[in-house]
Chain A
């Protein structure tokens, strides 16, 4: 920005521009470097070198006209340089007749094309590799694909910076030691590897969506990062219905953000939410993503279909519980879990009445999960079995670690008869 001439504040401090462009471009730069040098740790080091050069040069010489191209060209230049030095070094070693250390064979020509889509795919399949622990996958993905700093990831996960830093360092070391190639998975592994990528993205989303701690920065940031990764993945793998299913699920769930808490910050459950506060743009985008996966029955598509049933209902009373119960029955086949069964019980209870739902709940074992007795209590109350219902709500109140939820369960128990004994501390 040159001559402002207005009362507008100063913009475009070159350092700030470097940081901004860096965050926008770093995933693509790291991805391109990773393909050239074949090692994530080295790719990230070269990328950091590039950032340092930009921080030195831009404030002095001005911001280049096309910052992304400048960063990419500088980064590739450094990578190719490094490989040439390594090659010269190897030749020297051969001349003096010693053993040659193993090194990656650089694909220099490949390093010069301009297409980064496949590079990004290779990178995300590598950061989400099943050889790594879930925590490591999440941290590495946020770092290399989200462009988040170690400090930012630490703040999001309420961990110390050194913990997250070590997690990332260890992950890169494991990938290097196991000689994990930075490549698209072979066909035989494709489904499992894609599932791992989708799981990492959804975990990041859920960490933000279900946040019960942390500052206000955390929830929107993690949900936003996950959505962004999902949208990028949908562009790179447009023929994978489960990717569209995941994006649809996240878009529709994120559409409820503003309605999920009241003015005092208390949680508002789905049936009680003011649907006028749902984000129509996100719902529209979510339904469009779902259309792209139409007719498939993967777990993310099914969950998105369920979310879409809620999104399409103008009021809670309009909810198509019949369809939701059916979708949960299919989901229970595709991806069985006690939590899915519990959700199915709620849907069956709403669609066909509590007497049909109770047997489902009675067959469930979810130790320490407060929502199981809460759902059971609600079904029993609707069947008029008041004393049993009250006991279930007391159990739920004792199990939950969420103070506001506890108040809710205590109130439900109290409404069903005598005041229950207070369990747990109100915090």
Chain B
């Protein structure tokens, strides 16, 4: 195997046009089934759908000034859902996202959209994370330290 594996989290964001019609029911069933499968193998930690941006707001800083604008946002694309995966490589996260998008391709003819697969910073990305020793011993919980010097 070519790539070093490590436990990583990826946030995936599904983006697509504001649909004129609701998605076909077959697609929703297939998405639920895929989600159950990804959960069963320990890869999917969390997922949820997002309401249209019309129900949200945007808070911005531009030119040193803060402004708040209620949705809908001007962009043609809406963020439709998110998922948080815990996987062993970027390629695994991409594979889950691909399976998810193939369902859209196969069950919703004409639909177009994208999933951004973004790495969540983890302890492995922090300075001083490399190979630091943990507490010794193999007690049932964190082994007791010598206790606070009180």
Contacts and interface: CB of A to CB of B under 8 A. Distances in A.
B123 A257 contact: yes
Interface string A43-67: 0000000000000000000000111
A161 interface: no
A184 interface: no
A306 B142 CA distance: 10
B131 A218 contact: yes
A96 interface: no
Nearest to B127: A263
B33 to A, nearest CB: 12
Contacts of A11: 94
B135 interface: yes
The main secondary structure of chain A at its interface with chain B is helix
A152 B126 CA distance: 23
- In this complex, the member of B123, B128, B135, B146 whose beta carbon has the largest number of chain A beta carbons within 10 angstroms is B146
A90 interface: no
A206 B141 CA distance: 10
Interface residues of A, number: 93
B1 interface: yes
Interface residues of B, number: 51
Contacts of A369: 137
A12 B94 contact: yes
A307 interface: yes
A303 interface: yes
Interface in A211-231: 211-221, 223-224, 227-231
Q: Which of B86, B124, B129, B134: most chain A Cβ within 10 A?
A: B134
B124 A216 contact: yes
Contacts of A265: 128-133
A11 B115 CA distance: 14
Q: Which of B84, B86, B88, B138 has the most A CB atoms < 10 Å from its CB?
A: B88
Interface stretch (B20-28, B41-49, B60-68, B73-81): B41-49
B110 interface: no
A269 B149 CA distance: 12
Interface string A288-308: 000000000001000100110
Contacts of B144: 342-343, 345-346, 371, 375
Contact of A253 (B3, B92, B95, B142): B142
Interface in B74-131: 84, 86, 88-89, 91-92, 94-95, 102, 122-124, 126-131
Contact of B126 (A19, A219, A258): A258
A235 B40 CA distance: 6
Interface of B: 1-7, 39-43, 45-46, 84, 86, 88-89, 91-92, 94-95, 102, 122-124, 126-150
Given A217-B5, A412-B146, A415-B149, 9 more contacts: A210-B135, A210-B136, A219-B134, A269-B135, A306-B140, A306-B141, A342-B139, A343-B139, A378-B146
17 contacts: A20-B91, A65-B102, A210-B137, A216-B129, A224-B88, A227-B7, A260-B134, A261-B132, A262-B128, A265-B129, A285-B45, A306-B140, A316-B148, A339-B139, A339-B143, A371-B144, A402-B136
